[in-house]
Amino acid sequence: MAQAMKSSYHRKEQRIDARDRASATVIGHPDVTVPCSLLNISRSGMCILLNQAVESGQIVKVEWGGQFLVGKARRATVTREGFRVGLELLYCSQWNDRIGSVLSSL
């Protein structure tokens, strides 16, 4: 993972560049699971990139490397690569040591 990066617009928290593969389950009726990419992580959430639209307010579970995060979609932007979605942290499995130590230093 890269070092924490500051964004070009007003973020309340620094982000850690993640660039990992994951899967995202959009909770609904029915639940839909699709591959996604982690873009960055902060203390209060993460940003993912996927090929499916996610509406603001939807609940999404992101799983990667034996960990998971459940978040509420706050922002969604259409890009050339797909849909970039900002998730507000609702629940997270215990961060692995590497991610936890970096997040605690922010």
CATH of the domain at 55: 2.40.10.220
Report yes or no on 81 lying in a domain. yes
- What phi and psi values does residue 58 have, to the nearest 5 degrees? -70, 150
Report yes or no on 45 lying in a domain. yes
Structure tokens at 73: 């979609």
What pLDDT is stored for residue 11 in this prediction? 55
Domain count, the chain: 1
Alpha-carbon distance values, 33 to 1, 26, 27, 63, 65 (Å): 25, 6, 9, 10, 16
Report yes or no on 17 lying in a domain. yes
Structure tokens at 93: 């499995």
Residue of 49, 25, 18 lying closest to 36 (CA atoms):
49
Query: pLDDT tier at 85 (50, 70, 90 boundaries)?
Result: very high
Q: Record the pTM.
A: 0.78
Share of the chain above pLDDT 90, in %: 55
Report yes or no on 85 lying in a domain. yes
As a whole number of angstroms, the distance between CA 80 and CA 60 comes to 22
Report yes or no on 106 lying in a domain. no
